[in-house]
Structure 1
Amino acid sequence: MSTDELAETKALAYIEEPPITNDIETFFTNYASIPASALREHLITIRERVWQKCNYPCLGQWRFLHFSIKQNPIYAEILEKCKNEGATVIDFGCCLGQDVRQLVYDGVPIDQVRGYDLDPFFIEQGYELFRDGKIMKEKKVFGSGDIFDNQFLESIEPADYLYVDLFIHLFDAETQRDVCRRLARLAKRAIAGRQSGAKVAGERP
């Protein structure tokens, strides 16, 4: 990618300041023991590191601070089933793993959640972002692998709920069908999430 293309990408997909709300401050104070006075610098440091690795809009626009799983219509059901019936959750394409942390923060036992991403770099940066690498590694919550690797998929025990956030749109239309078939193998009860799309059908670069 040329310098001009990089500049254009940043102009469209990059927001300088982290959107620190009271909820975000409270989460990082309680979950990661990061005081409000240190939070801005901490978030910027991690975001710059992952942005240099990959210019995804979800990173440039701080979407990993949306904790989107809690906005899902069946989130209350997921929490209830996990807490009272031992249901399990997989976050596939978890990137920094923010939604796994939201589940744990909201009381889901850590042994009932797992996250998978193609690139272990993002999982490692998630440990840095949330300062929980020791317990997450001990519990083997996260793993890395390719959705097109059948051996990898077969090694994953299906969960009651599969959460897939801003992932399927990364593939062309034909490949998306294969991706969805593969994801369906990992869910016993329901698949939830959000994806990017357009009102006018078509593939975008």
Structure 2
Amino acid sequence: MVHQYRCLRSFRFVNLRMAEHDDFTRILQLSEQAALSSSTRPLLLDIGCCLGMDLRYLPYVGYPALCLLGCDLRPEFIDLGYRFYGDRGFSKIHFFSDDILQLRIPASTDTINDSSLLKEVNDLNQLCGRVKYIY
């Protein structure tokens, strides 16, 4: 029932709210510095990404799409995002559905260094200790 959400009914989801955040420029700068130093670029996870507008904007301003993850409780929002933006099948951003309230904190974590492994993420628990930025 998408129509129950006021932010969707009033099209507030099209606002680039992440770009208005105080740390937005800093996050872009840190990503650029990581690229220059040949180190692994930091992962950015958008929890409650809705249709993924903010995440889809980030590659246009220099953040590598392969380092972006979008998670929403409702898989239909992710599907609507693919339909709205017409990028299913070629978007390099990985979207998945999960419930943050079901997150378990593990005793130890391993770092994901290979961005191709991000496509296999389907559970927030797989990202514990591995994400640099959460929005």
| TM-score range for the pair, normalised by the shorter chain length | 0.7 to 0.9
Question: What number of residue pairs does the alignment pair up?
Answer: 110
Q: Which residue of 1 aligns with 2:25?
A: 76
**1:56 CA displacement:** 1.1
Does 2:44 correspond to 1:89? yes
Q: What RMSD in Å do the two structures reach over aligned CA positions?
A: 1.7
Q: What are the ranges of 5 or more consecutive residues in structure 2 without an aligned counterpart?
A: 35-40, 105-122
Question: Could you tell me whether the CA contact under 8 Å between 1:90 and 1:162 is conserved in 2?
Answer: yes
Q: Percent identity?
A: 33
Deviation, 1:79, is 0.9
Structure 1 contact 89–112 (Cα < 8 Å) conserved: yes
Greater radius of gyration (CA): 1
Q: What are the within-5 Å matches in structure 2 for residues 150-161 of structure 1?
A: 150=103, 152-157=123-128, 158-161=130-133
Which position in structure 1 is the counterpart of 2:7? 58
Higher helix share: 1
- In the other structure, the counterpart of 2:74 is 119
Give the CA deviation at 1:98.
Answer: 0.6
Question: Counterparts of 1:74 and 1:134 in 2: how far apart (Å)?
Answer: 31
**Structure 1 segments unaligned to the other structure (5+ residues):** 1-51, 164-205
| SS of 1:54 mapped into structure 2 | helix
Q: Distance in 1 between matches of 2:6 and 2:32?
A: 33
Q: Deviations over 1:118-146 (max 9, x none)?
A: 1111101111111111123xx46111011
In the aligned structure 1, how far is the partner of 2:3 from the partner of 2:99? Answer: 17
Determine helix, strand or coil for the equivalent of 2:96. Answer: strand
Q: Which moved more, 1:63-72 or 1:82-91?
A: 82-91
| 1:148 CA drift (Å) | 2.1
Aligned to 1:162: 134
User: RCO (CA 8 Å, sep 6+): is it higher in 1 or 2?
Assistant: 2
Once residues 53 and 60 of structure 1 are traced to their aligned partners in structure 2, the CA distance between those partners, rounded to angstroms, is 8
Among 95, 99, 109, the alignment partner of 2:54 is 99
- 1:146 counterpart residue number: 99
